[in-house]
Amino acid sequence: MTHSIPSIKLLIDGQFVESTTSQWREVVDPATQQVLARVPFASEAELNAAVASAAAAFKTWRKTSIGTRARLFLKYQQLIRENLKELAAILSAEQGKTLADAEGDVFRGLEVVEHAAGIGNLQLGELANNVAGGVDTYTLLQPLGVCAGITPFNFPAMIPLWMFPMAIATGNTFVLKPSEQDPMVTMRLVELALEAGVPPGVLNVVHGGAEVVDRLCDHPDIKALSFVGSSRVGAHVYQRASQAGKRVQCMMGAKNHAVVLPDAHKEQTLNSLAGAAFGAAGQRCMAISVAVLVGAARDWLPELVAKAATLKVGAGSKPGTDLGPLISRAALDRVGSLIEQGVREGARLELDGRNPVVAGYEQGNFVGPTLFSGVTPGMSLYREEIFGPVLCVMQAETLDEAIAIVNANPHGNGTALFTRSGAAARHFQEEIEVGQVGINVPIPVPVPIFSFTGSRASKLGDLGPYGKQVVQFYTQTKTVTQRWFDENEVGGPVNTTITLK
Ligand code: NAD
Protein backbone atom coordinates (compact mmCIF):
# COMPACT_ATOMS: atom_id res chain seq x y z
CA MET A 1 0.00 0.00 0.00
CA THR A 2 2.92 2.33 -0.69
CA HIS A 3 0.64 4.80 -2.54
CA SER A 4 -0.87 6.02 0.75
CA ILE A 5 2.54 6.62 2.32
CA PRO A 6 3.93 10.13 1.80
CA SER A 7 7.06 10.24 -0.33
CA ILE A 8 9.99 12.45 0.59
CA LYS A 9 10.84 14.93 -2.16
CA LEU A 10 14.12 15.98 -3.66
CA LEU A 11 14.91 19.71 -3.69
CA ILE A 12 16.29 20.78 -7.04
CA ASP A 13 16.54 24.38 -8.18
CA GLY A 14 14.10 25.63 -5.57
CA GLN A 15 11.42 23.02 -6.35
CA PHE A 16 10.40 20.04 -4.22
CA VAL A 17 10.16 17.28 -6.81
CA GLU A 18 9.11 13.64 -6.77
CA SER A 19 12.01 11.38 -7.71
CA THR A 20 11.61 9.22 -10.78
CA THR A 21 13.82 6.51 -9.28
CA SER A 22 12.61 2.94 -8.90
CA GLN A 23 14.60 2.49 -5.67
CA TRP A 24 12.89 3.54 -2.44
CA ARG A 25 13.25 2.76 1.25
CA GLU A 26 10.84 3.17 4.13
CA VAL A 27 11.24 5.60 7.00
CA VAL A 28 10.04 3.76 10.08
CA ASP A 29 9.03 4.87 13.58
CA PRO A 30 11.51 2.85 15.68
CA ALA A 31 9.11 2.62 18.64
CA THR A 32 6.25 1.06 16.63
CA GLN A 33 7.61 -0.02 13.20
CA GLN A 34 4.91 2.16 11.62
CA VAL A 35 5.98 3.31 8.16
CA LEU A 36 6.01 7.12 8.17
CA ALA A 37 7.21 7.86 4.65
CA ARG A 38 9.28 6.49 1.83
CA VAL A 39 12.52 8.03 0.70
CA PRO A 40 13.96 7.84 -2.83
CA PHE A 41 17.49 6.88 -3.81
CA ALA A 42 18.11 9.63 -6.36
CA SER A 43 19.22 8.77 -9.87
CA GLU A 44 22.44 10.03 -11.41
CA ALA A 45 20.48 12.47 -13.58
CA GLU A 46 18.73 13.91 -10.50
CA LEU A 47 22.02 14.36 -8.68
CA ASN A 48 23.56 16.01 -11.72
CA ALA A 49 20.58 18.36 -11.97
CA ALA A 50 21.01 19.33 -8.30
CA VAL A 51 24.72 20.06 -8.79
CA ALA A 52 24.07 21.98 -12.02
CA SER A 53 21.47 24.11 -10.27
CA ALA A 54 23.91 24.83 -7.41
CA ALA A 55 26.65 25.72 -9.90
CA ALA A 56 24.37 28.16 -11.75
CA ALA A 57 23.14 29.74 -8.49
CA PHE A 58 26.72 30.22 -7.30
CA LYS A 59 27.35 32.82 -10.03
CA THR A 60 24.99 35.27 -8.35
CA TRP A 61 24.99 34.04 -4.75
CA ARG A 62 28.73 34.60 -4.36
CA LYS A 63 28.17 38.31 -5.08
CA THR A 64 25.46 38.88 -2.46
CA SER A 65 26.44 41.22 0.33
CA ILE A 66 27.39 40.10 3.81
CA GLY A 67 24.35 41.97 5.16
CA THR A 68 21.94 40.20 2.80
CA ARG A 69 23.22 36.80 3.91
CA ALA A 70 23.16 37.80 7.59
CA ARG A 71 19.53 38.94 7.35
CA LEU A 72 18.54 35.65 5.72
CA PHE A 73 19.97 33.66 8.63
CA LEU A 74 18.44 36.02 11.19
CA LYS A 75 15.08 35.25 9.60
CA TYR A 76 15.89 31.53 9.48
CA GLN A 77 16.75 31.32 13.17
CA GLN A 78 13.45 33.02 13.96
CA LEU A 79 11.50 30.48 11.87
CA ILE A 80 13.28 27.53 13.52
CA ARG A 81 12.53 28.99 16.95
CA GLU A 82 8.84 29.46 16.07
CA ASN A 83 8.57 25.86 14.82
CA LEU A 84 10.75 24.20 17.46
CA LYS A 85 7.99 22.01 18.96
CA GLU A 86 6.79 20.77 15.57
CA LEU A 87 10.37 20.03 14.46
CA ALA A 88 11.04 18.11 17.69
CA ALA A 89 7.87 16.03 17.26
CA ILE A 90 8.81 15.05 13.67
CA LEU A 91 12.33 14.20 14.81
CA SER A 92 11.24 12.14 17.80
CA ALA A 93 8.77 10.09 15.68
CA GLU A 94 11.29 9.11 13.01
CA GLN A 95 14.45 8.89 15.16
CA GLY A 96 13.09 7.66 18.48
CA LYS A 97 14.76 10.06 20.92
CA THR A 98 12.69 11.72 23.65
CA LEU A 99 10.96 15.02 22.90
CA ALA A 100 13.35 16.80 25.27
CA ASP A 101 16.36 15.33 23.46
CA ALA A 102 14.75 16.17 20.10
CA GLU A 103 14.32 19.79 21.17
CA GLY A 104 17.99 19.77 22.22
CA ASP A 105 18.94 18.41 18.78
CA VAL A 106 17.09 21.26 17.04
CA PHE A 107 18.35 23.84 19.52
CA ARG A 108 22.02 22.93 19.05
CA GLY A 109 21.48 23.35 15.31
CA LEU A 110 19.71 26.65 15.88
CA GLU A 111 22.80 27.95 17.68
CA VAL A 112 24.82 27.24 14.54
CA VAL A 113 22.28 29.18 12.46
CA GLU A 114 22.69 32.13 14.85
CA HIS A 115 26.44 31.81 14.32
CA ALA A 116 25.89 31.80 10.53
CA ALA A 117 24.14 35.18 10.79
CA GLY A 118 27.34 36.66 12.24
CA ILE A 119 29.85 34.83 10.06
CA GLY A 120 30.77 38.09 8.28
CA ASN A 121 32.69 38.99 11.45
CA LEU A 122 34.96 36.00 10.86
CA GLN A 123 35.24 36.08 7.06
CA LEU A 124 37.71 38.95 7.24
CA GLY A 125 40.94 39.18 5.34
CA GLU A 126 44.28 40.58 6.52
CA LEU A 127 46.25 43.51 5.21
CA ALA A 128 49.96 44.28 5.46
CA ASN A 129 50.75 47.86 4.57
CA ASN A 130 54.03 48.67 2.74
CA VAL A 131 55.41 45.17 2.23
CA ALA A 132 57.67 46.95 -0.28
CA GLY A 133 57.82 50.61 -1.35
CA GLY A 134 54.23 51.55 -2.24
CA VAL A 135 53.09 47.95 -2.08
CA ASP A 136 50.34 46.46 0.13
CA THR A 137 49.38 42.79 0.43
CA TYR A 138 45.95 41.69 1.57
CA THR A 139 43.80 38.57 1.57
CA LEU A 140 40.33 37.79 0.28
CA LEU A 141 38.43 34.81 1.73
CA GLN A 142 36.39 33.78 -1.27
CA PRO A 143 33.70 31.07 -1.40
CA LEU A 144 34.65 27.84 -3.17
CA GLY A 145 31.55 27.11 -5.26
CA VAL A 146 29.28 24.08 -4.91
CA CYS A 147 29.79 22.24 -1.60
CA ALA A 148 28.10 19.07 -0.38
CA GLY A 149 27.18 17.49 2.95
CA ILE A 150 26.43 13.92 4.01
CA THR A 151 24.77 13.44 7.41
CA PRO A 152 24.13 10.57 9.88
CA PHE A 153 20.88 9.44 11.49
CA ASN A 154 21.61 10.35 15.09
CA PHE A 155 21.26 14.16 14.94
CA PRO A 156 19.04 14.75 11.91
CA ALA A 157 18.46 18.42 12.82
CA MET A 158 21.74 19.56 14.36
CA ILE A 159 24.18 18.03 11.88
CA PRO A 160 22.57 19.26 8.62
CA LEU A 161 22.55 22.66 10.38
CA TRP A 162 26.31 22.34 11.02
CA MET A 163 26.68 22.27 7.27
CA PHE A 164 24.46 24.18 4.85
CA PRO A 165 24.02 27.42 6.89
CA MET A 166 27.81 27.74 7.25
CA ALA A 167 28.49 27.00 3.58
CA ILE A 168 25.76 29.32 2.30
CA ALA A 169 26.56 32.14 4.75
CA THR A 170 30.15 32.17 3.49
CA GLY A 171 28.92 32.54 -0.12
CA ASN A 172 28.79 28.94 -1.39
CA THR A 173 25.89 26.90 -2.73
CA PHE A 174 25.07 23.47 -1.37
CA VAL A 175 23.86 19.93 -2.08
CA LEU A 176 22.75 18.04 1.05
CA LYS A 177 22.39 14.25 1.33
CA PRO A 178 20.53 13.58 4.60
CA SER A 179 20.45 10.21 6.37
CA GLU A 180 18.05 7.90 4.55
CA GLN A 181 16.92 6.57 7.95
CA ASP A 182 15.32 9.80 9.22
CA PRO A 183 15.17 12.54 6.56
CA MET A 184 11.82 14.09 7.56
CA VAL A 185 12.90 16.69 10.11
CA THR A 186 15.82 17.62 7.84
CA MET A 187 13.33 18.28 5.01
CA ARG A 188 11.16 20.45 7.28
CA LEU A 189 14.28 22.48 8.15
CA VAL A 190 15.03 22.81 4.45
CA GLU A 191 11.48 24.09 3.80
CA LEU A 192 11.98 26.71 6.50
CA ALA A 193 15.30 27.73 4.90
CA LEU A 194 13.48 28.43 1.62
CA GLU A 195 10.81 30.35 3.55
CA ALA A 196 13.59 32.43 5.11
CA GLY A 197 14.68 33.42 1.60
CA VAL A 198 17.34 30.95 0.41
CA PRO A 199 17.08 31.47 -3.38
CA PRO A 200 16.49 28.60 -5.88
CA GLY A 201 19.61 26.50 -6.44
CA VAL A 202 21.52 27.82 -3.41
CA LEU A 203 20.36 24.79 -1.39
CA ASN A 204 19.51 21.44 -3.02
CA VAL A 205 18.73 18.06 -1.46
CA VAL A 206 19.25 14.59 -2.90
CA HIS A 207 18.46 11.41 -0.99
CA GLY A 208 20.06 8.00 -1.17
CA GLY A 209 22.71 5.67 0.19
CA ALA A 210 26.18 4.50 -0.79
CA GLU A 211 25.75 5.05 -4.53
CA VAL A 212 24.62 8.67 -4.20
CA VAL A 213 27.44 9.34 -1.71
CA ASP A 214 30.02 7.95 -4.13
CA ARG A 215 28.67 10.16 -6.92
CA LEU A 216 28.95 13.21 -4.66
CA CYS A 217 32.57 12.24 -3.90
CA ASP A 218 33.35 11.94 -7.61
CA HIS A 219 31.42 14.88 -9.07
CA PRO A 220 33.92 17.30 -10.64
CA ASP A 221 31.79 20.40 -9.96
CA ILE A 222 31.68 19.86 -6.18
CA LYS A 223 34.58 21.65 -4.50
CA ALA A 224 34.25 20.63 -0.84
CA LEU A 225 32.54 17.88 1.06
CA SER A 226 31.59 17.63 4.73
CA PHE A 227 30.75 14.19 6.15
CA VAL A 228 29.52 13.11 9.57
CA GLY A 229 28.97 9.41 10.25
CA SER A 230 30.72 6.17 11.04
CA SER A 231 34.48 5.67 10.79
CA ARG A 232 34.21 3.00 8.11
CA VAL A 233 32.16 5.15 5.75
CA GLY A 234 34.03 8.34 6.66
CA ALA A 235 37.42 6.82 5.79
CA HIS A 236 36.02 5.74 2.41
CA VAL A 237 34.47 9.17 1.72
CA TYR A 238 37.66 10.98 2.72
CA GLN A 239 39.80 8.90 0.43
CA ARG A 240 37.45 8.92 -2.53
CA ALA A 241 36.59 12.63 -2.43
CA SER A 242 40.21 13.67 -1.76
CA GLN A 243 41.31 11.67 -4.76
CA ALA A 244 38.76 13.58 -6.81
CA GLY A 245 40.51 16.80 -5.70
CA LYS A 246 38.00 18.02 -3.12
CA ARG A 247 38.54 19.62 0.23
CA VAL A 248 37.09 17.10 2.72
CA GLN A 249 36.28 16.99 6.43
CA CYS A 250 34.98 13.80 8.07
CA MET A 251 33.73 13.70 11.65
CA MET A 252 33.46 10.01 12.57
CA GLY A 253 33.07 7.32 15.22
CA ALA A 254 34.13 7.41 18.83
CA LYS A 255 34.81 5.64 22.10
CA ASN A 256 34.60 8.31 24.75
CA HIS A 257 36.06 7.70 28.22
CA ALA A 258 35.08 9.35 31.49
CA VAL A 259 37.82 9.21 34.12
CA VAL A 260 36.50 9.36 37.68
CA LEU A 261 38.79 10.34 40.58
CA PRO A 262 37.71 9.43 44.10
CA ASP A 263 37.65 13.11 45.14
CA ALA A 264 34.88 13.92 42.63
CA HIS A 265 31.41 14.98 43.78
CA LYS A 266 29.83 11.54 43.87
CA GLU A 267 26.16 12.29 43.22
CA GLN A 268 26.83 14.72 40.38
CA THR A 269 29.34 12.36 38.81
CA LEU A 270 27.01 9.36 38.87
CA ASN A 271 24.15 11.44 37.41
CA SER A 272 26.46 12.75 34.68
CA LEU A 273 27.67 9.26 33.82
CA ALA A 274 24.15 7.82 33.63
CA GLY A 275 22.90 10.67 31.42
CA ALA A 276 25.92 10.63 29.09
CA ALA A 277 26.12 6.84 28.74
CA PHE A 278 22.45 5.96 28.33
CA GLY A 279 20.73 9.18 27.16
CA ALA A 280 19.53 9.10 23.53
CA ALA A 281 19.99 5.29 23.91
CA GLY A 282 23.76 5.82 23.62
CA GLN A 283 23.38 6.95 20.00
CA ARG A 284 25.53 10.05 20.37
CA CYS A 285 29.01 10.41 18.94
CA MET A 286 29.92 12.09 22.25
CA ALA A 287 28.22 9.50 24.49
CA ILE A 288 30.35 8.24 27.37
CA SER A 289 30.82 4.56 26.55
CA VAL A 290 33.70 3.80 28.95
CA ALA A 291 34.05 4.83 32.60
CA VAL A 292 37.49 4.45 34.16
CA LEU A 293 37.14 4.40 37.95
CA VAL A 294 40.40 5.44 39.60
CA GLY A 295 41.49 4.08 43.00
CA ALA A 296 38.75 4.13 45.64
CA ALA A 297 36.20 5.32 43.05
CA ARG A 298 35.95 1.62 42.19
CA ASP A 299 33.60 1.31 45.17
CA TRP A 300 31.03 3.48 43.35
CA LEU A 301 30.21 0.72 40.89
CA PRO A 302 27.14 -0.66 42.75
CA GLU A 303 25.63 2.84 42.99
CA LEU A 304 26.31 3.45 39.31
CA VAL A 305 24.54 0.21 38.44
CA ALA A 306 21.61 1.14 40.71
CA LYS A 307 21.33 4.58 39.11
CA ALA A 308 21.37 3.11 35.59
CA ALA A 309 18.62 0.67 36.59
CA THR A 310 16.28 3.55 37.51
CA LEU A 311 16.23 4.97 33.97
CA LYS A 312 12.97 4.47 32.13
CA VAL A 313 12.93 2.92 28.66
CA GLY A 314 10.01 3.87 26.43
CA ALA A 315 8.71 5.64 23.37
CA GLY A 316 10.33 9.04 22.89
CA SER A 317 6.94 10.75 22.69
CA LYS A 318 5.84 9.47 26.14
CA PRO A 319 6.43 11.79 29.11
CA GLY A 320 8.83 10.34 31.68
CA THR A 321 10.88 8.36 29.15
CA ASP A 322 14.63 8.59 29.73
CA LEU A 323 15.75 6.61 26.69
CA GLY A 324 13.92 5.70 23.54
CA PRO A 325 14.46 2.90 21.01
CA LEU A 326 17.45 2.26 18.77
CA ILE A 327 17.07 3.52 15.21
CA SER A 328 16.49 0.17 13.47
CA ARG A 329 16.09 -3.56 13.81
CA ALA A 330 19.62 -3.90 12.38
CA ALA A 331 20.99 -1.66 15.15
CA LEU A 332 19.07 -3.68 17.76
CA ASP A 333 20.54 -6.95 16.47
CA ARG A 334 24.05 -5.48 16.34
CA VAL A 335 23.93 -4.13 19.91
CA GLY A 336 22.45 -7.45 21.13
CA SER A 337 25.22 -9.46 19.54
CA LEU A 338 27.95 -7.18 20.96
CA ILE A 339 26.46 -7.67 24.44
CA GLU A 340 26.45 -11.44 23.87
CA GLN A 341 30.05 -11.31 22.69
CA GLY A 342 31.02 -9.28 25.79
CA VAL A 343 29.63 -12.02 28.02
CA ARG A 344 31.49 -14.69 26.00
CA GLU A 345 34.73 -12.73 26.25
CA GLY A 346 34.52 -12.66 30.04
CA ALA A 347 33.28 -9.15 30.91
CA ARG A 348 30.88 -9.09 33.91
CA LEU A 349 27.35 -8.14 32.89
CA GLU A 350 26.28 -6.07 35.91
CA LEU A 351 23.06 -4.84 34.32
CA ASP A 352 21.40 -6.52 31.34
CA GLY A 353 19.09 -4.21 29.39
CA ARG A 354 18.14 -6.67 26.67
CA ASN A 355 14.48 -7.31 25.86
CA PRO A 356 12.89 -4.78 28.20
CA VAL A 357 9.10 -4.85 28.48
CA VAL A 358 7.66 -1.60 27.13
CA ALA A 359 3.89 -1.84 27.42
CA GLY A 360 2.08 -0.74 24.27
CA TYR A 361 5.33 -0.71 22.22
CA GLU A 362 6.12 -4.40 21.95
CA GLN A 363 7.54 -3.96 18.44
CA GLY A 364 9.99 -1.19 19.39
CA ASN A 365 13.78 -1.53 19.01
CA PHE A 366 14.39 -1.20 22.74
CA VAL A 367 17.47 -1.96 24.81
CA GLY A 368 17.65 -0.71 28.37
CA PRO A 369 20.76 0.55 30.17
CA THR A 370 23.40 -2.18 30.10
CA LEU A 371 26.58 -2.12 32.15
CA PHE A 372 29.69 -4.29 32.07
CA SER A 373 32.56 -4.26 34.55
CA GLY A 374 35.93 -5.97 34.23
CA VAL A 375 36.27 -4.79 30.63
CA THR A 376 39.77 -4.99 29.12
CA PRO A 377 41.14 -3.28 25.99
CA GLY A 378 41.24 -6.52 23.96
CA MET A 379 37.48 -7.16 24.20
CA SER A 380 35.24 -6.41 21.23
CA LEU A 381 32.97 -4.46 23.61
CA TYR A 382 35.85 -2.07 24.08
CA ARG A 383 37.28 -2.03 20.57
CA GLU A 384 33.99 -1.45 18.72
CA GLU A 385 31.80 1.64 18.90
CA ILE A 386 28.60 0.00 20.22
CA PHE A 387 26.29 3.00 19.62
CA GLY A 388 23.75 1.71 22.10
CA PRO A 389 23.04 2.17 25.84
CA VAL A 390 26.01 0.07 26.95
CA LEU A 391 28.61 1.34 29.42
CA CYS A 392 31.96 -0.45 29.88
CA VAL A 393 33.54 0.06 33.29
CA MET A 394 37.30 -0.27 33.75
CA GLN A 395 39.62 0.38 36.67
CA ALA A 396 42.94 2.17 37.14
CA GLU A 397 45.11 2.70 40.20
CA THR A 398 46.27 6.22 39.31
CA LEU A 399 45.25 9.16 37.13
CA ASP A 400 48.29 8.55 34.91
CA GLU A 401 47.25 4.93 34.40
CA ALA A 402 43.77 6.12 33.38
CA ILE A 403 45.28 8.69 30.99
CA ALA A 404 47.40 5.94 29.44
CA ILE A 405 44.25 3.83 28.82
CA VAL A 406 42.49 6.74 27.10
CA ASN A 407 45.53 7.68 25.02
CA ALA A 408 46.04 4.09 23.87
CA ASN A 409 42.52 4.04 22.39
CA PRO A 410 42.63 5.14 18.75
CA HIS A 411 39.59 7.45 19.00
CA GLY A 412 39.77 11.07 20.02
CA ASN A 413 36.29 12.55 19.94
CA GLY A 414 35.58 13.41 23.57
CA THR A 415 36.61 12.63 27.13
CA ALA A 416 35.76 13.86 30.61
CA LEU A 417 37.43 13.98 34.01
CA PHE A 418 35.46 14.12 37.25
CA THR A 419 37.39 15.61 40.16
CA ARG A 420 37.50 18.43 42.69
CA SER A 421 41.23 18.91 42.16
CA GLY A 422 42.29 21.77 39.91
CA ALA A 423 45.82 20.36 39.68
CA ALA A 424 44.53 16.95 38.55
CA ALA A 425 42.25 18.64 36.02
CA ARG A 426 45.09 20.67 34.58
CA HIS A 427 47.36 17.63 34.39
CA PHE A 428 44.58 15.76 32.56
CA GLN A 429 43.94 18.64 30.17
CA GLU A 430 47.63 18.79 29.27
CA GLU A 431 48.32 15.06 28.89
CA ILE A 432 45.15 13.69 27.33
CA GLU A 433 45.25 13.13 23.57
CA VAL A 434 41.60 13.78 22.83
CA GLY A 435 40.26 16.78 20.95
CA GLN A 436 37.32 17.69 23.24
CA VAL A 437 37.84 17.60 26.98
CA GLY A 438 35.26 18.03 29.74
CA ILE A 439 36.17 18.82 33.31
CA ASN A 440 33.12 17.75 35.32
CA VAL A 441 31.23 18.14 32.01
CA PRO A 442 30.30 14.75 30.56
CA ILE A 443 29.56 15.74 26.94
CA PRO A 444 31.86 18.65 26.13
CA VAL A 445 30.53 19.67 22.70
CA PRO A 446 31.65 23.28 22.29
CA VAL A 447 29.20 26.07 21.44
CA PRO A 448 29.46 27.30 17.82
CA ILE A 449 31.83 30.20 18.49
CA PHE A 450 34.39 27.39 18.94
CA SER A 451 34.79 24.52 16.48
CA PHE A 452 33.91 20.86 16.98
CA THR A 453 37.42 19.53 17.55
CA GLY A 454 37.31 15.73 17.62
CA SER A 455 40.74 14.28 16.88
CA ARG A 456 42.81 11.21 15.91
CA ALA A 457 40.68 8.33 14.53
CA SER A 458 37.46 10.31 15.10
CA LYS A 459 38.31 12.87 12.43
CA LEU A 460 39.86 13.17 9.00
CA GLY A 461 40.74 16.59 7.62
CA ASP A 462 42.21 19.51 9.51
CA LEU A 463 39.30 21.90 9.87
CA GLY A 464 36.17 21.58 12.00
CA PRO A 465 32.55 22.04 10.97
CA TYR A 466 31.71 25.41 12.63
CA GLY A 467 33.38 28.15 14.68
CA LYS A 468 36.32 29.98 13.11
CA GLN A 469 37.73 26.91 11.38
CA VAL A 470 34.67 26.53 9.18
CA VAL A 471 35.39 29.82 7.44
CA GLN A 472 38.72 28.42 6.30
CA PHE A 473 37.05 25.19 5.23
CA TYR A 474 34.45 26.90 3.03
CA THR A 475 36.68 29.61 1.54
CA GLN A 476 39.79 29.90 -0.55
CA THR A 477 42.31 32.45 0.68
CA LYS A 478 43.53 34.64 -2.13
CA THR A 479 46.44 37.03 -1.51
CA VAL A 480 46.54 40.24 -3.50
CA THR A 481 49.76 42.21 -3.73
CA GLN A 482 48.96 45.70 -4.96
CA ARG A 483 51.07 48.60 -6.06
CA TRP A 484 49.94 52.07 -7.07
CA PHE A 485 52.41 54.53 -8.49
CA ASP A 486 52.53 57.99 -7.04
CA GLU A 487 51.95 60.15 -10.12
CA ASN A 488 54.36 62.83 -8.75
CA GLU A 489 57.18 60.32 -8.85
CA VAL A 490 56.49 58.86 -12.30
CA GLY A 491 55.91 62.29 -13.82
CA GLY A 492 52.26 62.02 -14.84
CA PRO A 493 49.32 64.13 -13.78
CA VAL A 494 48.61 64.07 -10.04
CA ASN A 495 45.33 62.23 -10.05
CA THR A 496 44.11 63.63 -6.73
CA THR A 497 43.37 66.87 -8.65
CA ILE A 498 41.33 65.09 -11.30
CA THR A 499 37.60 65.13 -10.91
CA LEU A 500 36.26 61.69 -11.72
CA LYS A 501 32.98 61.55 -13.59
P1 NAD B 1 26.82 5.92 8.60
O2 NAD B 1 28.26 6.06 8.36
O3 NAD B 1 26.18 4.59 8.45
O4 NAD B 1 26.00 6.90 7.63
C5 NAD B 1 26.40 8.26 7.45
C6 NAD B 1 26.04 8.67 6.02
O7 NAD B 1 26.79 7.87 5.11
C8 NAD B 1 24.56 8.47 5.70
O9 NAD B 1 24.11 9.61 5.00
C10 NAD B 1 24.57 7.22 4.84
O11 NAD B 1 23.58 7.25 3.84
C12 NAD B 1 25.94 7.21 4.18
N13 NAD B 1 26.44 5.85 3.96
C14 NAD B 1 26.13 4.72 4.66
N15 NAD B 1 26.82 3.67 4.18
C16 NAD B 1 27.58 4.12 3.16
C17 NAD B 1 28.52 3.51 2.28
N18 NAD B 1 28.79 2.21 2.36
N19 NAD B 1 29.12 4.28 1.37
C20 NAD B 1 28.87 5.60 1.29
N21 NAD B 1 27.98 6.23 2.10
C22 NAD B 1 27.34 5.51 3.02
O23 NAD B 1 26.55 6.53 10.06
P24 NAD B 1 25.20 6.51 10.90
O25 NAD B 1 24.96 5.13 11.39
O26 NAD B 1 24.11 7.23 10.18
O27 NAD B 1 25.61 7.46 12.14
C28 NAD B 1 26.24 6.99 13.29
C29 NAD B 1 27.74 7.20 13.24
O30 NAD B 1 28.03 8.57 13.07
C31 NAD B 1 28.44 6.81 14.52
O32 NAD B 1 29.64 6.15 14.19
C33 NAD B 1 28.73 8.13 15.20
O34 NAD B 1 29.83 8.12 16.09
C35 NAD B 1 29.00 8.99 14.02
N36 NAD B 1 28.82 10.39 14.36
C37 NAD B 1 29.94 11.17 14.49
C38 NAD B 1 29.82 12.49 14.85
C39 NAD B 1 31.03 13.36 15.03
O40 NAD B 1 30.88 14.56 15.06
N41 NAD B 1 32.22 12.79 15.14
C42 NAD B 1 28.55 13.05 15.04
C43 NAD B 1 27.42 12.22 14.87
C44 NAD B 1 27.58 10.90 14.52
Tell me the CA–centroid distance for residue 401 and ligand 1, in Å. 32
Tell me the CA–centroid distance for residue 286 and ligand 1, in Å. 14
Q: Is 134 helix (H, G, I), strand (E, B) or coil?
A: coil
Instruction: State whether 398 and 340 are in the same domain.
Output: yes
Number of domains in the chain: 2
Tell me the CA–centroid distance for residue 152 and ligand 1, in Å. 4
User: Each residue of 318-375: pLDDT tens digit?
Assistant: 999 999 999 999 999 999 999 999 999 999 999 999 999 999 999 999 999 999 999 9
In a domain, 498, yes or no: no
In a domain, 500, yes or no: no
pLDDT of residue 493: 60
pLDDT of residue 495: 57
Tell me the CA–centroid distance for residue 63 and ligand 1, in Å. 34
Residue to mutate (ligand 1; options 218, 285, 451, 453; most atoms within 8 A of CB)? 285
Atom of ligand 1 nearest to the CA of 179: 9
Tell me the CA–centroid distance for residue 255 and ligand 1, in Å. 15
By C-alpha distance, which of 292, 461, 23 is closest to 452? 461
Atom of ligand 1 nearest to the CA of 177: 9
Residue to mutate (ligand 1; options 187, 214, 217, 252; most atoms within 8 A of CB)? 252
In a domain, 64, yes or no: yes
Instruction: State whether 184 and 208 are in the same domain.
Output: yes
pLDDT of residue 492: 64
pLDDT of residue 1: 43
In a domain, 109, yes or no: yes
Beta bridge partners, 227, equal 150, 250
Strand 173-177 versus strand 203-205 pairing type: parallel
Instruction: State whether 391 and 465 are in the same domain.
Output: no
pLDDT of residue 2: 46
pLDDT of residue 396: 98
> Residues enclosing ligand 1, CB less than 6 A?
150-155, 177, 179-180, 209-210, 213, 228-230, 233, 236, 251-254, 285, 385, 387, 413, 452, 454, 458
User: Each residue of 361-407: pLDDT tens digit?
Assistant: 999 999 999 999 999 999 999 999 999 999 999 999 999 999 999 99
Instruction: State whether 258 and 241 are in the same domain.
Output: no
Instruction: State whether 270 and 155 are in the same domain.
Output: no
Structural domain of residue 44, as residue ranges?
8-251+461-478
In a domain, 328, yes or no: yes
pLDDT of residue 486: 79
Please report the DSSP string for 194-233 in residue order: HHTTPPTTTEEE---SHHHHHHHHH-TTEEEEEEES-HHH
By C-alpha distance, which of 77, 73, 85, 57 is closest to 147? 57
pLDDT of residue 3: 55
Closest residue to atom 32 of ligand 1, CA basis: 230
Angle at 135 between CA 129 and CA 141, to 5 degrees: 65
Beta bridge partners, 348, equal 373
Residue to mutate (ligand 1; options 228, 327, 459; most atoms within 8 A of CB)? 228
Q: What is the CATH number of the domain that holds 420?
A: 3.40.309.10
Instruction: State whether 239 and 358 are in the same domain.
Output: no
Instruction: State whether 145 and 275 are in the same domain.
Output: no
Atom of ligand 1 nearest to the CA of 232: 2
Q: Which of the residues in the chain have pLDDT under 70?
A: 1-3, 492-501
Specify whether 285 is catalytic. Answer: yes
Instruction: State whether 467 and 399 are in the same domain.
Output: no
Strand 127-132 versus strand 135-143 pairing type: antiparallel
Instruction: State whether 246 and 260 are in the same domain.
Output: no
By C-alpha distance, which of 354, 353, 347, 352 is closest to 373? 347
Please tell me which residue in 147, 217, 250, 285 is annotated as part of the active site. Answer: 285
Tell me the CA–centroid distance for residue 179 and ligand 1, in Å. 8
Closest residue to atom 17 of ligand 1, CA basis: 210
Q: What is the CATH number of the domain that holds 68?
A: 3.40.605.10
